[in-house]
Structure 1
Amino acid sequence: MMGKTAIVKIMERAAGRPVQIGERVWCKVDLASARDFGGANCVLQFEKEMGVEARVWDPDKVAYTFDLQAPSHSEKVSNNQKIIRKFAKRQGIRHLFDINHGIGQHVMLEAGLIKPGDVVLGTDSHMNLLGAVGAFATGVGNSDVAAAYINGTSWFRIPETMKILVTGKFQRGVCMRDLLTKMVGGLGAGGMDYLAVEFVGETIHNASLAERITLCSMVTEMSGKVPLIMPDGPVLDWLVERAGDEVLERVKSLSADPDAEYCKVLEYDVSDLEPMASCPDAPDHVKPVAQVAGILVDQVHIGSCSNGRYEDIKAAHAVLMAGGGKVSPTCRTIITPSTTEVQMQCVKEGLVFDFLAAGVVFTNPTCALCTAEHYGALPAGDVGVATNNRNFIGKVGKGSHTYLLSPMAAMATAIRGCIT
């Protein structure tokens, strides 16, 4: 009998029984989360179906994060946020992360709400980046979240698992973002269709939490169901400090067996990797940055759930200072930290002063320019560079086009005013 993959072990824990790949099973939900975008609809649907006096199954397993517009700049979003606040107060839901916290997945990680093996629902298509600490997190519709409020369950089909082995050490100026961009370009938008993906190897073992988040954040763009990296090293220590000693037992019991069977095994050596770019207008339209260098850029945005951690911003800062400490006057440059904790670290270490002196707009923590719903939307005809996970046409402004780069290449671009 073959060993089990991590996702099978996680699903068995959640279902309370043995499971088979391809089987549809009901699972216990450890956390049902919703954003200000979609969260109000979850509340209204739950109350419509169950009545305004109905109680959620466990208020400590429900969370709300305000990160799309924080603070709101439209009455509609303000009203939605108010609906959520009132519902949370009525229900005794303590985990309401209001406008002063940041991107939901990151905030919940920092708050110790996410453990390896947890089943986490959320109204965000990139919830699965929480696989960076071994959680089975998935973006679902409002109805699925509202249904989970009733008795804390949801159903899934057990996916097959792809294994990706990563070896080697990045050259200077190359980083995890370039690896995942290469993966997206090679595998394409459907290359991980409803698969769990285990990332292993020396490069992953040596990766920081920020790097693991970056890697996992783009699995959605390849149609993957969930990425999984079991915590180890400093990442494990960080998670235990936040989420408790239970994490240690979870890692031990839920890690894949040595003889687990995979539907596909891929290997990447990053030693010779060069900076990569996702070109307009799709994440899998990938070329080396060298092939698009020189294209004039109107705006650069560094941030998002993919590259908004302190390490990402610190890397951009190093490039800025090496490049003279000023951005091009022809290129609007915006940096958005992922959370208030990240923001405070940037302030404490003096990075924010240097950014402001350089002509950079350093914002409060939000999802920011992943969509045109935030300040800084691009006008028609403008070209942008971003560290976001998507660059579909019109996503940050109708008629605009966006290149996706690493934080280092994005800042180099901001300094020169053209892709660099």
Structure 2
Amino acid sequence: MTAVEKIFAAHAGKAGTAAGEIVTARIDRILLHDITGALAIDLLAAMGADRVVEPDRVVLVGDHYSPPPDPTAAGLLSLMERFAAEKGIRHLFTTGEGIEHTLLPEQGLLRPGDLVIGTDSHTCTAGAFGAVGTGMGSSDIAAAMALGELWFKVPETIRVTMTGARRRYVTGKDLILQVLGAITADGATYKCLEFQGDTIEGLNLDERMALCNMAVEAGAKTAFVPPDDKTRHWAREKHGDGGMAQAVWSDPDATFQTSLDFDAGAVEPLCARPYAPDNVAPVAATAGVRLNQVYIGNCANGTLTDLRQAAEILAGRRVAKGVRCIVVPATRQIYRDAMREGVLEILAAAGAIIGPSTCGACAGLHMGVLAEDQVAVATTNRNYRGRMGAHSSQVYLANAYVAAASAVAGELIHPAEVTGA
């Protein structure tokens, strides 16, 4: 079996499963945020369910409208707080603790082998930790809270093997952009992308999050990185000696839907041009686009690794005049770690705005939206028309090195053009 087949088998109480099989599976973690999660709360009541069957499996995170920009947004956070109190839900994060997909592993609310569902499409980020995570509709999430289980079709798995040493300034963000450019936005529809190879083994957990986070931009149901010593160290730190008890790996003779091979050593720093995450090109080929805003942050690229990369570029340099550079650590703990290391001081001295942990600008809601015809480079995961603001605005997706270098230059640029290295 593949790893994802094993995880579904374990959660369905079966000895084995096969791709395409329909199973009813127990859920380890149910993740709700303040927009679509609030809808799930209303739907639970509409279903006539008077309780959450396993409150400790539910996690409520206020991150899209945090801090709340208006009374309606504040009301959504208040709804979650009341719901948690009424249903006995302990895992409540509505006071700026962080963005859900980064917060979940940081808080130890995830472990290898888990099955996680959420009201957000980027729940597939959990694959970085050897788990299966998938986004679902609010009605499905409501049903899961009432029942503790849901039905699933076990997805086929595409094996993505990446080998070779990465070039300077190439990160996990570039690797997933390379995949997206190759297979397009529907190339993995309802599949699992399993990432293997020595390049993947060389990524730290932060960069694996960036890799798995954007699997959904290829239509994938989920993503998966086989657990290794890095995963094992993290799991032991969060869960003790039993942290790897549920961990699984694909069998050597597992059946994959297809296999894709990439030479990571040939990958350059990349960007996704408007208006699609699979509209990928080398940064060097798109250089010169003038910018109004640079945004460094989001659920998978507001990590300490990303902030360090940005600081490496911005140290001793200044953000170009007329460019708004916004940096958003993904969690409060990352903010504190970056502050303790002096990373935030470097970023602030360069002229960056340091914001609280929020999805606000990424989702085009608040704290960094774009005006008509404005152009941004962002480390976020989507650049559809109107995604970060006005309908005619444009967003180029790139890694933190590229974003920081572009902030200095005032235009999209390869980091080596700024650093000379």
Give the structure-2-normalised TM-score. Answer: 0.95
Opposite residue 58 of structure 1, the aligned amino acid is E
Deviation (angstroms), 1:384: 0.7
Give the secondary-structure state (helix, strand or coil) at the position aligned to 2:329.
coil
2:271 is the counterpart of 1:277: yes
Partner Cα separation in structure 2 for residue 267 and residue 101 of structure 1: 38
Partner Cα separation in structure 2 for residue 206 and residue 179 of structure 1: 12
> 1:11 maps to which residue?
8
> 1:384 maps to which residue?
376
The structure 2 residue matched to 1:411, chosen from 404, 407, 415, is: 404
Partner Cα separation in structure 1 for residue 228 and residue 8 of structure 2: 21
Opposite residue 9 of structure 2, the aligned amino acid is E
Deviation (angstroms), 1:246: 2.6
Deviation (angstroms), 1:397: 1.2
Question: Does the 8 Å contact 1:334/1:361 carry over to 2?
Answer: yes
Partner Cα separation in structure 1 for residue 18 and residue 285 of structure 2: 46
Opposite residue 407 of structure 2, the aligned amino acid is A
Partner Cα separation in structure 2 for residue 247 and residue 79 of structure 1: 37
Partner Cα separation in structure 2 for residue 144 and residue 130 of structure 1: 19
Partner Cα separation in structure 1 for residue 47 and residue 280 of structure 2: 45
Partner Cα separation in structure 2 for residue 232 and residue 247 of structure 1: 12
Opposite residue 111 of structure 2, the aligned amino acid is K
Give the secondary-structure state (helix, strand or coil) at the position aligned to 1:55.
coil
Deviation (angstroms), 1:405: 1.0
Give the secondary-structure state (helix, strand or coil) at the position aligned to 1:265.
strand
Partner Cα separation in structure 2 for residue 29 and residue 217 of structure 1: 20
Give the secondary-structure state (helix, strand or coil) at the position aligned to 2:289.
coil
> 1:210 maps to which residue?
206
Residue-by-residue CA offset, 1:267-308 (whole Å, 9 max, x unaligned): 111112211110011111111111111111110001111311
Deviation (angstroms), 1:245: 2.6
Opposite residue 318 of structure 1, the aligned amino acid is E
> 2:419 maps to which residue?
none
Opposite residue 64 of structure 1, the aligned amino acid is L
Question: Does the 8 Å contact 1:208/1:235 carry over to 2?
Answer: no
Gapped runs of 5+ residues in structure 2?
414-421
2:73 is the counterpart of 1:46: no
Give the secondary-structure state (helix, strand or coil) at the position aligned to 1:50.
coil
Deviation (angstroms), 1:351: 1.4
1:6-405 equivalent positions in 2, closer than 5 A: 6-17=3-14, 18-50=16-48, 54-251=50-247, 254-321=248-315, 324-398=316-390, 399-405=392-398
Question: Does the 8 Å contact 1:161/1:263 carry over to 2?
Answer: yes
* Paired positions, count: 411
Question: Does the 8 Å contact 1:102/1:367 carry over to 2?
Answer: no
CA shift in 2, pair 1:235/1:21, >3 Å: closer
Residue-by-residue CA offset, 1:159-180 (whole Å, 9 max, x unaligned): 1111111111111122221111
Question: Does the 8 Å contact 1:178/1:274 carry over to 2?
Answer: yes
Partner Cα separation in structure 1 for residue 92 and residue 17 of structure 2: 34
Question: Does the 8 Å contact 1:116/1:230 carry over to 2?
Answer: no
Partner Cα separation in structure 2 for residue 361 and residue 139 of structure 1: 31
Give the secondary-structure state (helix, strand or coil) at the position aligned to 1:218.
helix
Question: Does the 8 Å contact 1:302/1:335 carry over to 2?
Answer: yes
Partner Cα separation in structure 2 for residue 178 and residue 105 of structure 1: 20
Partner Cα separation in structure 1 for residue 379 and residue 33 of structure 2: 21
Partner Cα separation in structure 1 for residue 18 and residue 203 of structure 2: 32
Opposite residue 376 of structure 1, the aligned amino acid is G
- RMSD over aligned CA atoms reads 1.2
Question: Does the 8 Å contact 2:112/2:235 carry over to 1?
Answer: no
Partner Cα separation in structure 2 for residue 181 and residue 20 of structure 1: 29
Opposite residue 369 of structure 1, the aligned amino acid is A
Deviation (angstroms), 1:262: 0.8
Partner Cα separation in structure 2 for residue 305 and residue 100 of structure 1: 14
Give the structure-1-normalised TM-score. Answer: 0.96
Deviation (angstroms), 1:154: 0.7
> 2:416 maps to which residue?
none
Gapped runs of 5+ residues in structure 1?
none
Residue-by-residue CA offset, 1:11-66 (whole Å, 9 max, x unaligned): 10011113222111111111111001122221121122225xx2211111111001
Residue-by-residue CA offset, 1:391-418 (whole Å, 9 max, x unaligned): 0011111210011111001100000101
Partner Cα separation in structure 2 for residue 209 and residue 143 of structure 1: 32
Partner Cα separation in structure 1 for residue 194 and residue 379 of structure 2: 23
Farther-moved stretch of structure 1 (5-14 vs 240-249): 240-249
Identity of aligned residues (%): 36
Partner Cα separation in structure 2 for residue 125 and residue 315 of structure 1: 26
Opposite residue 41 of structure 2, the aligned amino acid is V
Question: Does the 8 Å contact 1:239/1:247 carry over to 2?
Answer: yes
